Structures are given as C-alpha cells and as structure tokens.
Amino acid sequence: MIADTRKKLAGFLTKKVWEIDTGPLGSFKTFVVKLIRLLYVAIREFAEGQLTLRAMSLVYTTLLSIVPMLAISFSVLKAFGVHNELVEPFLLKFLAPLGGKGEEITVQIISFVENMKVGVLGSLGLGLLLYTVVSVIQKVEKSFNYIWKIKRSRSLARRFSDYVSVLIIGPVFMFSAVSLTASFKSNAFVMKILSLEPFGSVFYFFIGKIPYILVCSVFTFLYVFLPNTKVKFTSALVGGVLAGILWETAGWGFASFVVSSTKYTAIYSGFAIVLMFMIWLYVSWTILLVGAQVSFYHQYPRYLSAKKESLNLNNRLRERLVFMVMYLIGFNYYRNRAPWTLHSLVERLDLPLDPVNDTISLLERHSLILETGDDPPAYLPARDIETIPLKELMDAVRLVNSDTSVIALHLSPLPEVDHVMESVDSAIQESLHEKTLKDLVLSSEKNQREQ
C-alpha cells in the first residue's frame, strides 16, 4: 500500500503535474499547480548537492568573519549608544534554536567584538578588516550568482561601495526602525487608540508577527541585492517568504533537537556547543540558498521542467543568436535608445538566461561590446557600428573554442577536405563581403519601406 502511494506520488510530481494545462483553471488552482512545480524543482536542485556544498563552504567563511562583520556594525551603532540594545538581541534571536548554548555563544561573540578596538587598528588594520568583510559577502554573492547562472561578479570597486554601504547603513536603519517602533508604542494618542477594541487586539496580533515579517524582509532584501543581476521584487518576495517560513520552522525543530541531544554533550563534552553552532549555521545557509533558488525559478519559469535539461545550441543557432544580440545592441545604440541589459535581452528574445549570457560573454571576449557601469550593467558596441564587419561576428562564433587551434596544428593535410573548407570560407566572405553592423541595423528600415 505504501509502495503504491509512493509510486503514484512520484508519477504525479514527475509527469502529471507538468501535463496540466493551467489555461482553463482558476487563479487559485493555477497558483497551486505552479507552486507544486516550483517546490519540486527546488527540492530536486537541493538533492543534487551543489547547494549543500556551498552552504558548507559558507559555514567555514562565517566562522572566520562573524567577529569582523559585527565589529563594523557594532562601531556604527556605538555612535548612537545602542550597540548593546541591538547587536545582542539580534544574536540571541539568531541563536535562539540553540537554547542555553545560544546565550553562551552570544556572550562569547559580544566579548570578542568589544575587545576588538577598531579605532586602534590603524589604516592598514582597518583596511584588512573591511577586506575580510567584503570577501565574505563576495563569497555569498558567488553562491547567488551560481544559482542565478550569472558568470560575472561585481567589480572590486562596486564590491566595496555596495557592501560597505550596506554594512554601515543597515545598522542605522535597524536603529531607526527600533526607535520609531518604541516612539509609536509610547505615544499617548496611540495608546488611547489601542485601549479601544478591536484596535488593541489587532495591533498586538501584528506586533507578535513582526519577527516573522522582519525575517522574511531580510531574506527578500538579500535576494534583491546580492545577485549581480536584476531580480524582480515579486520573485525575491516569494523566495523571501518561503525562506522565512522555513527558517522559523527549522528553528523550532532544531530547538527540539538540541533539547533531546544530551548524548551529544556526553560524547563531545565542551565541543558540543561549537558543533551545534556549526550545524545551525549550515541549516541557515542552506535555507538562504534554497530560497534564492525558488526566487530564480519564479523569475525564470522557462527553467521549470520535470527533468533537468541542459540547453545546448547547435552551431547554426549559436551564430543566429550572436547576430541577433549584436543587432539589438547596435540598433538601440544607433537610435539613441536605452541600452540593453542582460535581463531585457532575455525578455526580448524569450530565451533562458544561459545562452544569452554565454553570447554576451563571447562578444565581450572578442571586444565587440562593452559593459556599462550601471546597475544592472547595460551593453554598448565596443566601437562605431560602421567599423564592425559582420564577418568578424561570424569569426567570433566559429572560433568560440580557441583551444581547438592546437588540434588543428596536428591535423594532417587532406587536399580534398581542405578545398571544401576553403570554398566554405570563400562563400561566407563573398556573402558578407564588406557589410558592417550598421548595414544590418539600417536593413530593418529598408525592409519596412519595401513592405
């Protein structure tokens, strides 16, 4: 009976749910079907092990960086005189699933942070401190970029400007939020309103949900900010809410595990507290990455499929895609329109992100396009479109794997085959002749006039 149930469930998740036509369904049923597909793919990605490996790597990184990161936030909050009122409660909340052990770890971390005197480090010491923090966030960004299939991280200058600004502004916003909440609750007029029902009950109900809202907000912010691409707020919110629910649920389950783990304390003695801390860090990082995966699939539903399939373009499609991307970039540049971003090109071409991203990387390597300093970056022709021959685009595609030139040196000459290849090259040269990217851009107007 159990085996039959498992078989039916597996058949539903791997086949039937993907065959459902959501067109005739109502909005709620469509939402449920899409949610099931989304969760199935996210669980499949998790089971493959890449996310867990990256989560393990981030645990080690966290152990090295937690004190420097908190030291910077501590220094900022110290200017407001609220460092103890915010940093310690934050750590206690994060380590609450560890029970009494969480309080011990919090005391130790706060002690380390207080003993680190940022003011006496000097310029070199402060620079190394900031570099440590930036390196940590960069590692998190790389994990997010892997999930979002982005192959380029932020530049060094953007890392410092973006990351450090968050580390400085974040604590200030935290302090402002706490201060506003306290002022709001102590206001005489507000207190009078709250004494009336049902306003008081509703208010305190929502006050009790604030920790959950804050957790989901933090996850959502990370999903919007950290990937080096434009993430839709709706997609980030979907991942943030799911990750927030998972984190709160995992915290409850982990707390129960800690209470019943007396045998681990007996085995590992004083090291048990470190072990529990590392396990909880691993669970937290895993949840963060799973939520990022959900955000990605929500934004790019094209990747949702029953089986994970790699999209491999044949040579003809690769050539066509290179010409299409270059045409779009050249057209907007020539017409003084807003330059294309990776996200807008994906939307325009209605393709998955991978092939478009690979094409952009190919064009950049051959110095055919340039990336702007905008956020997210946009793309422009590397030089005047009148000086970019179409033959150069074709050569960029045909020589995409430059390593094969080594193999070509070892190929024995065969006149019959060499003659055919020379004929192909000549045909391409004759067909493209001296046409440039500008000719391709202007050909659209010519076609419209003829129609």
pLDDT in tens, 94-145: 777 777 777 777 777 777 666 666 555 556 666 666 777 777 778 888 888 8
Instruction: Tell me the C-alpha to C-alpha distance, in Å, between residue 390 and each of 61, 265, 355, 385, 433.
Output: 47, 70, 20, 10, 9
Q: What is the dihedral of CA 104, 108, 109, 110, to 10 degrees?
A: 100
33 or 160: whose pLDDT is higher?
33
Is the pLDDT higher at 113 or at 343? 343
- Kindly report whether the peptide bond that precedes residue 24 is cis, defined as omega within 30 degrees of 0: no
Q: Which amino acid is at 136?
A: V
| Beta strand pairing call for 378-381 and 369-371 | antiparallel
In sequence order, the 6+-apart residues with CB closer than 8 A to the CB of 222 are 240, 288, 292
Looking at residue 237, what is its pLDDT?
A: 92
Model confidence at 165: pLDDT above 80:
no
DSSP string, 312-369: ---HHHHHHHHHHHHHHHHHHHHTTPPPEEHHHHHHHHT--HHHHHHHHHHHHHTTSE
Mean pLDDT, the chain, integer: 75
Q: Per-residue pLDDT for 189 more than 70?
A: no
Among the ranges given (15-29, 34-48, 355-369, 399-413), the one the predictor scored with the smallest mean pLDDT:
399-413
Mean pLDDT (whole number) for 133-158:
79
Distance, in Å, from the CA atom of 223 to the CA atom of 414, rounded to the nearest integer, reads 56
Class for the domain spanning 315-450 = mainly alpha
Beta bridge partners, 341, equal 378
Percent of the chain with pLDDT over 90: 3
Dump pLDDT digits (tens) for 225-264.
888 888 889 999 999 998 988 888 888 887 777 766 666 5
Q: Exposure pattern of 298-322 as b/e (b: 16+ CB <10 Å)?
A: bbbeebeebeeeeeeeeeeebbebb
Q: What is the mean pLDDT of residues 313-317?
A: 76
Q: What share of the chain is helix, strand, coil (3-state, %, to 5)?
A: 80, 0, 20
Indicate the residue type of 63: L
Nearby residues of 154 by Cβ (< 8 Å), 6 or more positions away: 138, 141, 162, 228
> Whole-angstrom Cα distance, residue 300 to residue 346?
10
Residue 101 buriedness (CB in 10 A; 0-12 / 13-18 / 19+): buried
pLDDT on residue 91: 72
3-state SS, one letter per residue, for 7-49: HHHHHHHHHHHHHCCCCCCCHHHHHHHHHHHHHHHHHHHHHHC
pLDDT at 37 over 60: yes
**What is the Cα gyration radius of the chain?**
28
- CB neighbours of residue 195 within 10 Å: 9
The per-residue DSSP string of 190-203 comes to HHHHHTSTTHHHHH
Q: How far apart are CA 361 and CA 220, in angstroms?
A: 29
Higher pLDDT, 321 or 410: 321
On whether the CB atoms of residues 333 and 385 are closer than 8 A, the answer is yes
pTM (2 d.p.):
0.71
% of the chain residues with pLDDT over 70: 66
- Residue 267 host element (H or E): helix 262-268
Cα torsion 141, 147, 149, 151 to 10°: value is: 30
The pLDDT value recorded for residue 222 is 85
DSSP letter at 154 equals: P
Whether 216 shows a pLDDT value over 80: the answer reads: yes
Q: Please list the residue range(s) of the chain that carry CATH number 1.10.10.10.
A: 315-450
